Structure 1
Amino acid sequence: MLMLGWELPPAITGGLGVACEGLLRGIGALGGIGVDFLLPAAPGLGRDYPAAVRIVELDGCEEPSAPARSQGAYIAYREKASRYAAAALRALPGLNDFDLIHAHDWLSFEAALAIKRASGKPLIVHVHSTEHDRAGDLCVNPAIAELERLGLHAADRIVAVSRYTAQGLARHYGQSADRIEVVYNAGRPRPADFPPAPLPAPAPAPADGCISFIGRITEQKGPEAFVEAAARIRERVADARFVMAGDGNLLPLMRSLVRALGLADAFSFPGFVGREDVARLLARSRVLIMPSLSEPFGLVALEAIEAGVPVVLSRHCGLVERVPSAICVDPDDIHAMADAAIGLLADPAQARARAVAAAGEAAELDWIRSASALRRVYERALGATKTERAAAEVC
């Protein structure tokens, strides 16, 4: 099987690379499937994957030149995606035989479409996030949305990371439900103990800990709602402290808003944090708030739950489909968001009970189960292709 992805740990910008790593390890542990994973060259990848998984680092996908970068982030990424597609085509003769293509998100869709045309093999499109999730309906980049539409239209089967995401594909791209399979993500891969060991009971939250936001500081993630909720929390919990970890176009505005609300002494902005730093931040978090306007799954929230941190999630988060014990609020309801966090801070017993219940529900998610669900998707795609070919031969 040929898999197309954009990143893998440790060189990641968000949850996509984490999900791809988990799926690769799950597929390797499941057995019976060989994978060539095509990756833009990533020096220092340094990860041992199962024997059935081969990471193919493509040359010719270097960062755009300075003039291209100056034209905007979309142009830079679009040019790199085009180079990735060209490099993938060049690499085809040296790859193992494959019977289908599995492409993750829009940055790999140009390559997927080209390889499908060249090989005639069935295509699985895996949607972790869409332009409508990232930008909101009023700020959609039409070029990205069109590439997503083309990839979805060409796909033999579509994988969505939640029912919430599947509904968005139907609403924004006209995809019928019978073409879409939901395959949930899972938590942090633990290569040394596949199958996953039982999770330990969540530890009590530190009394002097912080209230955390972890994610890109962009419109999608709702950082302004977090800051406004923090102001309300601070009115009733005088010693509350907050960490907004991440980077993005709204970071300067959030710094200014924090100063304007008189919260500068209660806030810290560590910038983008790597996976080990995320674990350390969660270890001192009393509550994680995820106020995203649209969150297809929510891997950071799942990591928090696995770490025993009580969470307050947006109702527009796919993870709540599998973790119903999590507190959910409308992302624009600042009062409800603040009240939920204050309730958890004020009642440690309730917070711990919530954390324990959520961790138990999250334990049902693991990458081997996800890989097994993917294998069923592969079998359906290959079975449908064989049926179509047999029908064509009869005609």
Structure 2
Amino acid sequence: MKLESVLGQPALFQLTAEADVPTELSERERRLLVGALNFHALTAPGREIDAHVYDGTWELEPRTTDDATFDGLSRIFRKRLYSLRFRSTVEPEDRRHIRAEAVADAMIDLPQRHLYVSSDAALDFDPPRHLARDPLRRVLRAVRARTPLLYDEARDLELLRHRRSYAKPAARRQYDKEFTGKGHHATSEIVPVGPAEEGAIPAVLIGIHWFELGGAERWAFETIRLVREAGFLPIVISGRDSHQPWITRAELDGAVIIPFSEHIARSQTPGVEQLLRGLLRSFDIRGVVVHHNQWLYDRLHWIRRSRPDIPIVDSTHVIEYRGGGFPVSSVMVDGVITAHHVISPSLKRWMTQVQGVPASKVVMAPLGGLTVAPRDAQFRPRRDGTPFTVAFVGRTARQKAPEVFVEMVNRLGDAAAEMRFILHGDGDMSAWIDDIIRNEGLVDRIERRSSRVPVDDTLAESDLLVVTSHNEGLTLTTLEAISHGVPVVSTDVGAQSDLVPARALVPRNVHRAVAGLADKVRWLAADEDARRQLWTDEREAEKRLLAAQTASSWFAQEVGSW
């Protein structure tokens, strides 16, 4: 397979003379468009197709690969911006088609595709996943903004019924049985793909959650970089709807990118896997890496059937309270995974002791050195004449509980007047958090910063980092803060206790967390010696943790053997 270069990106298609692509597309918009056309080129080998690209508003996330992009049966596709014709350069496959893929064949045979690529202007708004689109939801959002902790308490009660699911061994997937008897896919059959084309480019398939800010994503992008350094072409598939702001990162330069839009179902026949068979035929896939991508987890058995000898590794960070999340997905397909990478000792214990995964398959390698250069960190004393500065750094998402930080500031009362507070991050809950800040009268007290501001800048101004998470693995921000000479206080979640001593931990229950964190802030603002000793103890714990092989070092060795 010879990759074309289209709009500055590796492509599996050629634009025909009829193509009229606007020259003013941004780098992000070009990568989304090329990624969408790569998907359709792989699923329709050798075909010539007309693609229509439509306009939309910021509330609509890109539509690149979902079922509606084949038939255009969506109100999304109303205002056409431009059209282009492309020809797939993927070689058609000579094989028998099974009856179950008739629906997919009919979609793939359609002569047109319908795409929506959001403009960069959409990045100025909060992600639209939790928009209150009807009057009732808007009322509920207003209530939540006025009583955020009561809402969190109610949510915790609802989550109690899910907790047994990750405290007992997960059932392993029985892939073959799904295609027999009363199995989910009994009307289909498993059709492995043949060998790759002669002279195919050596590549590694990498599944990520999305191209957005996050600790897991930082690590995913590091593995993409290491794959390229090892001499392989990275093929990167994202699994979730998003405006994909990180799709322009340098780690993706030269990579084949396929940004999914949900839902992909009818075009991908179980057991046939039209997209993956196109990739496995076109490239010499030497390994598979999974980072929180459920779509790829669901297809690892098929990949193993088609390529029995290639390594398949995954990386997990945190056990979710609702059903266990991606670690449970990983355990369910343990039979076809070569190695499970985990970032903390507590997650390794869960994998081996609760889930019964052989210890030889579980690699504990922390994410050291990812976001700050390794150095001999030193405690940074408070600066004379400046207020005690307390920071929150993280996504404004449910898991990170930024509302707890806001309520902690409110709980501090008059003591907060002598301090400075920075809430650094953006995400699904940004607008809701801003509502809470306004309702509490804290607009002038809490400085809001988006992810466009470097985290290093915020930590350089901070005297204390507060981690408020409802659920967590081991936060990268904790490692970053310690490396900047800043101590950390945290809710007692996930593997935070591997770094943060008990005296700086508080319960995860939101009301107790607010009270406890406020007490810790008062204590450390008033006692510089205690703040120094806390950092010293956390630095020693960080050294012990990072004495183990780091994730980057382990993965470089792993992919180097492929």
Q: Which residue of 2 aligns with 1:341?
A: 521
Name the % identity. Answer: 19
CA distance in 2, matches of 1:86, 1:289: 47
Which residue among 22, 36, 46 is the counterpart of 2:250?
46
Q: Which residue of 1 aligns with 2:423?
A: 244
Q: Which residue of 2 aligns with 1:388?
A: none
Q: Does 1:199 pair with 2:376?
A: yes
Deviation for aligned residue 1:324:
4.5
Describe the SS at the equivalent of 2:463.
strand
Q: Which residue of 2 aligns with 1:358?
A: 538
Amino acid at match of 2:481: A
Which residue among 402, 417, 424 is the counterpart of 1:223?
402
Describe the SS at the equivalent of 1:117.
helix
Alignment TM-score, normalising by the size of structure 2: 0.51
Alignment TM-score, normalising by the size of structure 1: 0.70
CA distance in 2, matches of 1:346, 1:180: 43
Which residue among 474, 481, 484 is the counterpart of 1:307?
484
Amino acid at match of 1:156: T
Q: Contact 1:210–1:287 (CA<8 Å) still a contact in 2? A: yes
Q: Does 1:123 pair with 2:327?
A: no
Q: Which residue of 2 aligns with 1:212?
A: 391
Q: Contact 1:127–1:161 (CA<8 Å) still a contact in 2? A: yes
Describe the SS at the equivalent of 1:203.
coil
Q: Output the aligned Cα RMSD.
A: 4.0
Instruction: Go from structure 1 to structure 2 and tell me whether the alpha carbon gap of 1:347 and 1:200 turns closer, same or farther (over 3 Å shift).
Output: same
Instruction: Go from structure 1 to structure 2 and tell me whether the alpha carbon gap of 1:330 and 1:223 turns closer, same or farther (over 3 Å shift).
Output: same
Q: Contact 1:162–1:297 (CA<8 Å) still a contact in 2? A: yes
Q: Which residue of 2 aligns with 1:285?
A: 462
Q: Contact 2:498–2:541 (CA<8 Å) still a contact in 1? A: no
Deviations 1:316-345 (A, max 9, x none): 142432554882221222222111122111
Instruction: Go from structure 1 to structure 2 and tell me whether the alpha carbon gap of 1:150 and 1:176 turns closer, same or farther (over 3 Å shift).
Output: closer
Deviation for aligned residue 1:351:
1.4
Instruction: Go from structure 1 to structure 2 and tell me whether the alpha carbon gap of 1:237 and 1:270 turns closer, same or farther (over 3 Å shift).
Output: closer
Instruction: Go from structure 1 to structure 2 and tell me whether the alpha carbon gap of 1:86 and 1:226 turns closer, same or farther (over 3 Å shift).
Output: farther
Deviation for aligned residue 1:266:
0.5
Which residue among 493, 501, 525 is the counterpart of 1:316?
493
Which residue among 142, 157, 181 is the counterpart of 2:363?
181
Q: Which residue of 1 aligns with 2:291?
A: 104
Aligned length: 339
Q: Contact 2:207–2:293 (CA<8 Å) still a contact in 1? A: no
Instruction: Go from structure 1 to structure 2 and tell me whether the alpha carbon gap of 1:287 and 1:177 turns closer, same or farther (over 3 Å shift).
Output: farther
Q: Which residue of 1 aligns with 2:76?
A: none
Instruction: Go from structure 1 to structure 2 and tell me whether the alpha carbon gap of 1:167 and 1:3 turns closer, same or farther (over 3 Å shift).
Output: farther
Amino acid at match of 2:236: L
CA distance in 2, matches of 1:292, 1:285: 19
Which residue among 44, 51, 57 is the counterpart of 2:255?
57
Q: Does 1:370 pair with 2:559?
A: no
Q: Contact 1:113–1:154 (CA<8 Å) still a contact in 2? A: yes
Amino acid at match of 2:288: I
Describe the SS at the equivalent of 2:418.
coil
Q: Runs of 5+ in structure 1 lacking a partner? A: 49-54, 65-74, 191-195, 383-395
Q: Which residue of 1 aligns with 2:216?
A: 16
Q: Contact 2:344–2:495 (CA<8 Å) still a contact in 1? A: yes
Q: Contact 1:109–1:147 (CA<8 Å) still a contact in 2? A: yes
Amino acid at match of 2:535: A
CA distance in 2, matches of 1:280, 1:116: 45
Q: Contact 2:388–2:418 (CA<8 Å) still a contact in 1? A: no
Give the number of the structure with larger relative contact order, counting CA–CA contacts within 8 Å between residues 6 or more apart.
1
Which residue among 333, 340, 345 is the counterpart of 1:158?
340
Deviation for aligned residue 1:154:
3.5
Deviations 1:261-285 (A, max 9, x none): 33222012223x14x6211111111
Deviations 1:221-250 (A, max 9, x none): 122222221122243342223222222333
Describe the SS at the equivalent of 1:241.
strand
- Point out the structure with max Rg over C-alpha: 2
CA distance in 1, matches of 2:379, 2:274: 47
CA distance in 2, matches of 1:177, 1:336: 39
Which residue among 198, 202, 206 is the counterpart of 1:4?
206
Q: Runs of 5+ in structure 2 lacking a partner? A: 1-202, 239-245
Instruction: Go from structure 1 to structure 2 and tell me whether the alpha carbon gap of 1:223 and 1:197 turns closer, same or farther (over 3 Å shift).
Output: closer
Q: Answer with 302-311 or 176-185: which moved more.
A: 176-185
Describe the SS at the equivalent of 1:244.
strand
CA distance in 2, matches of 1:5, 1:62: 10
Kindly indicate which of the two structures has a greater share of residues assigned to helix. 1
Q: Contact 1:222–1:292 (CA<8 Å) still a contact in 2? A: yes
Instruction: Go from structure 1 to structure 2 and tell me whether the alpha carbon gap of 1:237 and 1:368 turns closer, same or farther (over 3 Å shift).
Output: same
Deviation for aligned residue 1:4:
1.4
